[in-house]
Every structure is written in C-alpha cells, then in structure tokens.
Structure 1
C-alpha cells in the first residue's frame, strides 16, 4: 500500500475504496482489515468514499462460482432478511468514522438489476429497496449512489 499512498498524496488525488460483503464472513473481515490499513495510510483528505459491498443484488446468482465464498439460499436469507448486511454495514461505518472518516461519503456499488423495481428491486433474494431506505434514514445525504452498468 505504501507506493499507492505515496502516489495518491504526491498527486493530490482521492481514492474510492471498497470492502466486500460476501457469504464468507471471515473473508469479509479480512477485506475490511486490508481496507483499514490503506485508509490509515491515506487519511480522510485522500478518500473520496467507502464502498461497502459490490453488486449485492446479484449475489444470489453466483452459486458456487466463487469457491472461497459459495452462495447458498441460507446465506442470502441471512444477508437480507436476517439483517447481516445491515449489521455489517453499520459496524463498518462505525469503525470508519472512529478512524476519522466521518465526513467521507458512503456507498454500495449496484448493477443495473438493482433498478428492476420502483425504482429499486425488492425481492427475497435481493432487497435493495429495503436496504436503501435504511441507509438513507441513518446516513442521509452522506450515502451516495454508485452503479456499474455493463
């Protein structure tokens, strides 16, 4: 991370940094540890935002394609209806803020399928609308939308 942090600071740029939300909580915790290491080196002035989770609306489609974090119906149930995503999101933001980043924007990266509702999809397997309502209620305009359209 040292070379990246040096480059970022020397060029006065900012980083949008992401951390995973998968069906492997150990992997997620390690991803966050790595992210925190880089965040400490960069400091708030060089962080554009923190992304927590990537294309979670499509997670249920992965099945066993990702061997280190196979996706099961039980995982999807726990993540959305069981509240694991929301709890992990809040815990991550709490740590992020305690590190001095409380003014830095927050996001989750969504793909186009997230917009398959009014405006967001909200099925048992993909509860984006419910998540967005919670995050906006808790974090307001600090939350910013990020979309990947392929």
Structure 2
C-alpha cells in the first residue's frame, strides 16, 4: 500500500462505515477497503494479517463480497488471490430502490392501516402526518430513481 498510514486508516474507516450503511458487516467493509488500497491481489492470510482478523472471518467476508461482485479472485495452485472491484457508484445508486421497496412502501402501508383502524382523532391525525411525510419521501425516491435511469441511458448511449 503506497497510501500514507494516516490516510489509509481513515480510508478503511470511511469505507467500513459506508459498507455498513449498505448492509454489509464491519468485517466486509474492512476487507473491501484493504483490497481497494492494495496495489496487488491479496491472499486470505495477508488480508487477515492486515485487518487483524481471523482467516475464517476474512473468508466469510470474501465469499459475501464475491457473491455481490465486489471482489474477484484468481487461483494459483491451491492459493486464491483476491482483488476489489470498485463499485461505489453502482452500490450507491441501488440504495434509493432498496429504501423504497424494503422500507418506505411497507412502512407506508402499515401506517395507512394504523390510521384507518385508529379510534382517537389525535392518533389518526398523527398517523396521517406520518403518512404524508412517507408519501413525499416515496415521491422523492421515485424521482431519484427516474433520474438515475435517465443518467444510465445517457451513459449507455455514448
């Protein structure tokens, strides 16, 4: 790694936080960051040493990262050498769709049912406020997704 130690530590820290926000484990983020920083493919043992983790936890993370196409490997004899595939933009652009489908729409449906079945005007009013907020969020996320799709079409047509 040719990046200065202070900067490389901060890089690992930020990538780990980012990956955690995207649903990966702390270990996944750390392993991905070390691979991104490396100027050559690394073995499980090398990653375990750099990250201060067990070989088994590194192996589990590499499997998860490879499954999501964030890591590739090549085999030489019995040894696997792992490399990171930079995919921040792709992962970032997936977030609005995931948030909309997994969180906002299900929450909106639940709050709608709670508002309908509420007996008190205060609770109904509170649920209606939450529902209005979720509806705006849904609209914003849908617009972001539309913009991303338009941008993607522009890139493909170049």
- Taking structure 2 as the reference length, the TM-score comes to 0.24
Query: TM (normalized to structure 1)?
Result: 0.25
Higher strand share: 1
Higher relative helix content: 2
Which has the higher relative contact order, 1 or 2, with Cα contacts under 8 A spaced 6 or more apart?
A: 1
